[in-house]
Amino acid sequence: MKKQRKLGPLGKIYEEALLPPVRKPLMRRRFLSILKQGVPGGYDAVVDYDMSLSRITGPLAVPMIGYQHFSVAHLADGHERKLRKLRHQCKVDYDAVVLLTDSMLADARVLLPDAADKLVRLYNAIDIANIRTRAQQPLEPGVAPQGPFIVSVGRLEESQKDFASLLHAYARLAGQGIAEDLVIVGDGASRQHLEALAQSLGIASRVTFAGFQSNPHAWIGHARLLAFSSKMEGLPNVLLEGLAAGQVVVSTDCLTGPREILDDGRAGLLVPVGDVAGLAEAIDRGLHDEALRAALLAHAAHHIEQMGFGPTAQAFSALVDRLTRQAASPAGAAARA
């Protein structure tokens, strides 16, 4: 209700002032009981994938690893309260904080110098072999266009994703006689707005809003190109999945993720955020320049291997091993007592 802005003044007082003193000790007690269950001797570490757990439990008796999914650079510009909270979490609550890209790690080390020794970079691991298998599966009959198509996959949320720029770019290409239709896979609060935009641009008959699809990899695999137009990201999985599926990728060069994933443009084409003309031109090149397509795909096939399960699993295991050994040391045990 708070996220949906449905809490009135009394609701906000209850949620922000009265509830936390009750919720935090209760959640902490319940979570500590979970840590003692399962494997003999209990669990050795906790992984918090959105850094929300410590806010309702506080520090725990075992090492805590938090994941920060977005760049923290923007927090320096008008988000001091959020930055203070993150500094406290990194310094007090978590034994390690994972950033998803090298650029995110560099930004965090500047803004969080007191916690620099806790910051590590781990890529999101993807199952490359499974994605390639799923990419070859057939599409649902009656939903996919009859002819060739470009695909874009993501949550339809314009505050971050900017499908509007993609629609404007596609309208330019449609006016130039492009053969491929556009398919947008995903759902979200901005869908009606985007459908209306497609209608106003005169491209509604060429754009398919496929909604949620249980196997988006098949749509990526059967397309002629994957287009990505976000304003801001962390490490966008859809780009990883596009490279794994052997697809030509065009992406905005947003903060953060795409440039690193696409290896400075060697594994996919990069265009400035919001550059409609540049996006249209890059899509056109990615579709019709066969030598460029071959070079991008060859480089991507090699580059994506570092983001598979193997390398990330090794790095993650090394991190957990280091933290659990530190926690078991006399100094670590005394600190958690």
- Taking all residues of the chain, what is their mean pLDDT, rounded to a whole number? 92
- Indicate if 128-306 has the same CATH topology as 44-125+310-336: yes
Residue ranges of the domains in the chain? Answer: 44-125+310-336, 128-306
- Model confidence band, residue 38 (pLDDT cutoffs 50, 70, 90): low
What is the structure's pLDDT at 118?
Answer: 95
What is the structure's pLDDT at 217?
Answer: 97
Does residue 176 sit in helix, strand or coil?
Answer: coil
Q: Name, of 97-101, 138-142, 165-169, the range with top average pLDDT.
A: 165-169
Q: For residue 47, report the phi and psi dihedrals to the nearest 5 degrees.
A: -110, 120
- Cα–Cα distance, 180 to 170 (Å, whole number): 10
What is the structure's pLDDT at 337?
Answer: 65
Fold (topology level) of 44-125+310-336? Rossmann fold (3.40.50)
What is the structure's pLDDT at 4?
Answer: 81
The answer to whether the predicted template modeling score (pTM) of the entire model surpasses 0.85 is no
Query: Is the model's pLDDT at 199 over the cut of 90?
Result: yes
Amino acid at 25: P
What is the structure's pLDDT at 17?
Answer: 86
Which CATH code for domain 128-306?
Answer: 3.40.50.2000
Q: For residue 210, report the phi and psi dihedrals to the nearest 5 degrees.
A: -80, -10
Q: What is the pLDDT of residues 147-195, one digit of tens each?
A: 999 999 999 999 999 999 999 999 999 999 999 999 999 999 999 999 9
Q: Is 147 exposed, middle or buried (0-12, 13-18, 19+ CB in 10 A)?
A: exposed
End-to-end Cα, the chain, rounded Å:
37
Q: What is the pLDDT of residues 276-331, one digit of tens each?
A: 999 999 999 999 999 999 999 999 999 999 888 888 999 999 999 999 999 888 87
Cβ 156 vs Cβ 163: under 8 Å = yes
What is the structure's pLDDT at 41?
Answer: 72
